[in-house]
Structure 1
Amino acid sequence: MLSIHFDERAIEEQFLNELRKKLEHIERRHTFWDMKELMRQTNMGENSIKEKFFYDERFPKHKVGGKWYFPAAECETFLLQWIKEQPTN
């Protein structure tokens, strides 16, 4: 007789980990962000973005026609560094 036992918690945990990986991959599919996406990604309004880091010479941005575009991967790297540089209160 053959008996198979499954650890349901382990299966669920593995499933959730794989789901998170897939969702991160889907989220990173954008090559460029526009201002609306930058606002969504940072959870900041346009005025706050412009006050805090938009004019930082390290911030990657390109104006094409009348619209700003931001390379997603470079922006993410910049933003993670930028937030570490902010004073904590």
Structure 2
Amino acid sequence: MNTLINVQIDEEKAFQIYREKVAEVIKEFDGELVYWDSKELCRRTCMSWKFIQEQFFHDPRFIKTKIGSKWFFPAKEAREFLQQWIREKGARA
């Protein structure tokens, strides 16, 4: 005897659940890092190191610490600064 099973999925609800789970994972991942180094800053901003230095590296509001030859940026403060900085850039466009 063959039994057929018919499953219907509410695609909108499935995508909503998917988006919520992805947001949770991203939030957890972001919470794990206390500091970014220059490589992580470049990765997170999709900007080259040269571009970062030209655009906002020397802004006194951008908190950074150099230890030896390596730069470190507090993750939370860097994220907040970058959000403000991009809003300011958008206002000038």
Larger radius of gyration: 2
* Structure-1-length-normalised TM-score: 0.81
Identity of aligned residues (%): 36
1:32 to 2:70 alignment: no
SS at structure 2 position matched to 1:60: coil
Aligned with 1:58 (options 57, 61, 66): 61
Superposed displacement of residue 27, structure 1: 3.3
Question: Match of 1:71?
Answer: 74
Alignment root-mean-square deviation, CA: 1.9
Question: Unaligned stretches of 5+ in structure 1?
Answer: 1-5
Superposed displacement of residue 12, structure 1: 4.8
Alpha-carbon distance change, 67 to 17 in structure 1, aligned in 2, over 3 angstroms: same
SS at structure 1 position matched to 2:79: helix
* Structure-2-length-normalised TM-score: 0.78
Letter of the aligned partner of 1:37 in structure 2?
E
Superposed displacement of residue 36, structure 1: 0.4
Count the aligned residue pairs: 84
